[in-house]
A and B are shown apart, each in its own frame.
Chain A
Amino acid sequence: MKARWALVDLVVLVYALVPVLWIVSLSFKDPSTFTDGSFVPTRWTWANYSGIFRNDDFTRGLINSIGIGLISTFVAILFGTMAAYAVARLTFPGKKVLVGFSLLIAMFPQISLVTPLFQIERGLGLFNTWLGLILPYITFALPLTIYTLSAFFREIPWELEKAAKMDGATPFQAFRQVIAPLAAPGMVTTAILAFITCWNDFLFAISLTSSNAARTAPATISFFTGSSQFEDPTGSISAAAVVITAPIVIFVLFFQRRIVAGLTSGAVKG
């Protein structure tokens, strides 16, 4: 029985890892061997990596990705937690509207927003700025944040708040000393999911930026032309692809349980 599952697991591993290993392998290939088409590098080199880090655009792109990602995530979590708590715990007019609207945004085709934002941001001077990307990122991260966090809040038993009230706590004390500590793991998970969403974005990044002032890493990669016009950018692109994938892999490795719990709304806890 176990052997059968082990075999199936192996298939899954191959499915998930082979394409990833291919890019990694490409990134270590000596540029002269690019056209040999073998899976494993016949000649190894670090040159591709050192190359991209010497590239101002790329390092700038990384900084942009990190900065914009962190700020967007922070704001999305802040606003999202507040809204999620309200949605999970309180009754108020417009609750259905809020939930419905987040659903709408989750289903929204980004290209439809790129078109007007392109023009509007140029008018407002937000084009090619961090803020110009942060605003749409927050907007698109909010539905996910609110949904995931309200699921986490609903896991916290209602009676704990009642007990805190009886024990003499003000609503704020109840929140800070009872609710917040219990919600903290959920917030961490949601932050990771939101960050992945922002980090991953491509369409907004290529449409709303024009230089390395605000261009994020994925977009930067697509503009790679290699160190000279004649050089094949394959190596640089592969190396860059690995670099921007690495943080995500690390997150996933450390937080797998939490992420799975978050994405399955707590149904699967590991």
Chain B
Amino acid sequence: MSHRAGRARALLSEGKRSERRLGLWLSAPAMIIMVAVTGWPIIYSFLLSLQRNDLRFPQDQVWIGLDNYGTVLASPYWWNAFWVTILITVVSVAVELVLGMLLAIVMYRTLVGKGLVRTVMLIPYGIVTVAAAYGWKYAWTPGTGWLANLLPAGSAPLTERGPAIAIIIVAEIWKTTPFMALLLMAGLAVVPEELLRAASMDGASRRQRFVRVTLPLMKPAILVALLFRTLDAFRIFDNIYVLTNGAQDTSSVSITAYHNLIGGLNLGIGSTMSVLILITVAIIAFIFIKMFGAAAPGGDGR
């Protein structure tokens, strides 16, 4: 009796077992590539950060423990870049959220030329960042640029720290607002039309409907958009490289790390910065997920 039940138990999970096998086989290639290309390099990067390793002096490699970290964290260049990055991140994400929401509403609800608006908005999303960056650079270059020439004569905004950062922020916002808008539009689309109609019947004005019905229901979408855009903004590189290449203390952390690595060929310091950047990003993500309980895609929100 129990032997028969045992056979039945083994047979019943045959279907489940082959499903599990299939699942593992299908996801293996993707998993292997992702792990292989990031796994070892991250570990290697950490190891490099513990060495004095400068490609210009290859015979000078030595394990120095956490000394690099000391050097970097004591360096004004690093902290400069760090705060500039934070500034750019906070300002651009904040503006993008508002602008993106407005844009999402337009893309979703406009009565005229919906297709046209959506198509056109995808262009900043799709355009090569560097290409757009050159456009902005030339626009603000005195003489060449139509924007520069709107300013009082003699001002070269890209050569001054404050204005340069402002320009970088504008370039970032211009490029990535459409993506934010698309994520938010997904959230908008999920709000059931019936709820809005019910609110209407209950006497809510358009503004009230938006604030009291739409926004709360969009919370998960907003949080996901915020999370990804914040992390994206922190990694800013392309726009700064083209616009100022970090001159006048406008570097972001990625630019500084790049300069040390490829420019200075200093693997040790470059790796240290990379690891610090990675840690910062992890902390930001952690804060987001903890503080806001963000239902990231892939969580149980599915």
Contacts and interface: CB of A to CB of B under 8 A. Distances in A.
Nearest to A29: B144
A92 B19 contact: yes
A237 B186 CA distance: 36
Contact of A256 (B40, B119, B127): B119
Interface residues of A, number: 102
A176 B255 CA distance: 47
Interface in A220-256: 221-222, 234, 237-238, 240-242, 244-245, 248-249, 251-253, 256
A82 B136 CA distance: 41
B80 interface: no
B262 interface: yes
B146 to A, nearest CB: 4
B23 A91 contact: yes
B246 to A, nearest CB: 13
Given A8-B106, A82-B29, A83-B26, A115 B143 contact: no
B199 interface: no
Interface in B248-262: 253-254, 257-258, 261-262
Contacts of B159: none
Contact of B41 (A86, A113, A217, A251): A113
B116 A9 contact: yes
A19 B127 CA distance: 11
B127 A245 contact: yes
A106 interface: yes
A77 to B, nearest CB: 11
Contacts, number: 313
Contact of A23 (B31, B119, B134, B183): B134
Interface stretch (A46-54, A134-142, A178-186): A134-142
A109 interface: yes
B108 A268 contact: yes
A65 to B, nearest CB: 9
Given A116-B41, A116-B44, A138-B33, A83 B139 contact: no
Contact of A109 (B129, B187, B254): B254
B34 interface: yes
A105 interface: yes
A256 B122 contact: yes
Given A83-B31, A85-B26, A115-B48, A20 B123 contact: yes
B241 A202 contact: yes
Contacts of B143: 34-37
Interface residues of B, number: 97
A265 interface: yes
Nearest to B237: A203
The interface residues of chain B, by DSSP majority, are classed as helix
Contacts of A92: 19-24, 27
B178 to A, nearest CB: 8
Contacts of A241: 128, 130-132, 134-135
Contacts of B30: 79-80, 82-83, 98, 102, 142, 146
Most buried by B among A16, A114, A147, A248: A16
B45 A245 contact: no
Interface string A20-41: 1011001000000011111100
A109 B123 contact: no
A110 interface: yes
B249 to A, nearest CB: 19
Given A13-B117, A106-B228, A99 B33 contact: no
A46 B178 CA distance: 32
Q: Which 3 pairs across A and B sit closest by C-beta, in order of nearness?
A: A92-B23, A241-B131, A264-B186
Interface of A: 1-2, 5-6, 8-9, 12-13, 15-17, 19-20, 22-23, 26, 34-39, 78-80, 82-83, 85-87, 90-95, 97-103, 105-120, 135-136, 138-139, 142, 146-147, 154, 171, 196, 199-200, 202-203, 206-207, 217-218, 221-222, 234, 237-238, 240-242, 244-245, 248-249, 251-253, 256-257, 259-260, 263-265, 267-268, 270
Interface of B: 16, 19-24, 26-27, 29-31, 33-35, 37-38, 40-42, 44-45, 48, 103, 106, 108, 110-124, 126-132, 134-136, 138-139, 143-146, 148-149, 174, 178-179, 182-183, 185-187, 189-190, 228, 231, 234-235, 237-238, 241-242, 253-254, 257-258, 261-262, 267, 270-271, 273-275, 277-278, 281, 285, 296-298, 302
Given A16-B124, A120-B41, A256-B119, 8 more contacts: A19-B135, A93-B24, A103-B296, A109-B235, A252-B119, A252-B122, A264-B183, A264-B189
